[in-house]
Amino acid sequence: MRTLRRLSAPLALLPLFGCGNNDQPFYQGYVEGDYVYVASSEPGRLDTLAVRRGQQVDANQPLYALDATREAAARDQAQAEVAAARAQLEDIATGKRAPEVDVSLAQLAQAQAASRRSAAQLARDNAQFRIGGIARSQLDDSREQAQSDAARVRELQAQVEVNRLPGRDEARRAQASQVEAADAALAQAEWTLNQKRLAAPAAGRIFDTMYRVGEWVPAGSPVVSLLPPGNIKVRFFVPETVVGSLKIGQQATLRCDGCGDPIPVRIDYVSDQAEYTPPVIYSRESRSKLVYMVEARPAPDAAARLHPGQPVEATLP
């Protein structure tokens, strides 16, 4: 609710201060509320509205929820990406899995057997070449095959050793960064999903609801306005001759129709300028008509007896 800056026409016709039966001055005023407007940073269709106007709610009590199908899917995807990134990091940190190492060992065994055969064939060809049984070209081919098979054995032996080692430090650091990025994306997805479910930031009374179930709610548009007891205040108006004696924290007393016993309040704001002035000039006569706005707050337990817009009379000790 916007703060009133000028007296409405009916209120302006009332005397702003007077005297009661016991000649104690009283000052006219009204009850005001600082409303809490509960809005989401995300747009969406209003899925559920769990409260109604006038209802009392507790802190953290659910108020409403927007459709969150897309946001829930994004959260699930982010969770899957975190799991995949963590699994990849674990794989890099522990080296190849046992079945992959077994495959490399089997390939090494095959290469070693081939190397033994080619080495034996080279020995036979050497003997045959010395007695003139084969040509030099055949001996050269046999030697090249033996050398190739031996090189293959060395290659696979190195591969087996590499498979048994954990990943390089650079690879582990890079994958750890991927895990951190996935965690951050998941946190953002969960935050966005939580913006689709709003709860009461404090205990209070539901003053109004602005949308119906099924309606589209733009981002930042409040669906519920809440009035906590501590946000109820009273505004009353004192003449220029009184305002100078008021201090922040000073006690005052309220009376209103149907309120029962007088309600104690504590002043927490005194205007430093006259907000309501006569229509012509500041003559000596008109100065007595200047009034200053004063704001005071009741204790939260007494605030339940007051309602915004209710006229009150304030007295000072």
What pLDDT sits at residue 159? 82
Q: Does residue 288 have a pLDDT over 80?
A: no
Spell out the domain ranges in the chain.
9-66+206-315, 77-188
What pLDDT sits at residue 77? 95
What average pLDDT is seen over the chain?
85
| Radius of gyration over every alpha carbon of the chain, rounded to an integer in angstroms | 43
Ordered DSSP codes for 290-314: -EEEEEEEE-HHHHTT--TT-EEEE
Domain 9-66+206-315 is classified in which CATH homologous superfamily? Efflux pump adaptor protein, beta barrel domain (2.40.30.170)
Sheet holding 216-217, edge to edge: 197-199, 62-66, 44-49, 216-217
**Can you tell me the distance from the alpha carbon of 252 to that of 317, in angstroms, rounded to the nearest whole number?**
7
What pLDDT sits at residue 282? 45
Locate 111 and state its tokens.
């290469």
Residue with more model confidence, 13 or 122: 122
Ordered DSSP codes for 110-130: HHHHHHHHHHHHHHHHHHHHH
Ordered DSSP codes for 91-108: HHHH-S-HHHHHHHHHHH
What pLDDT sits at residue 23? 61
When pLDDT is cut at 50, 70 and 90, the band that residue 95 belongs to is: low
**Residue type, position 237, single letter:** F
Strand partners, 65: 48, 197
Q: Does residue 258 have a pLDDT over 90?
A: no
pLDDT in tens, 209-248: 999 999 999 999 999 999 999 999 999 999 888 988 999 9
Report the interhelical angle of 136-164 vs 98-130 (nearest 10°): 160
Q: Does residue 40 have a pLDDT over 90?
A: yes
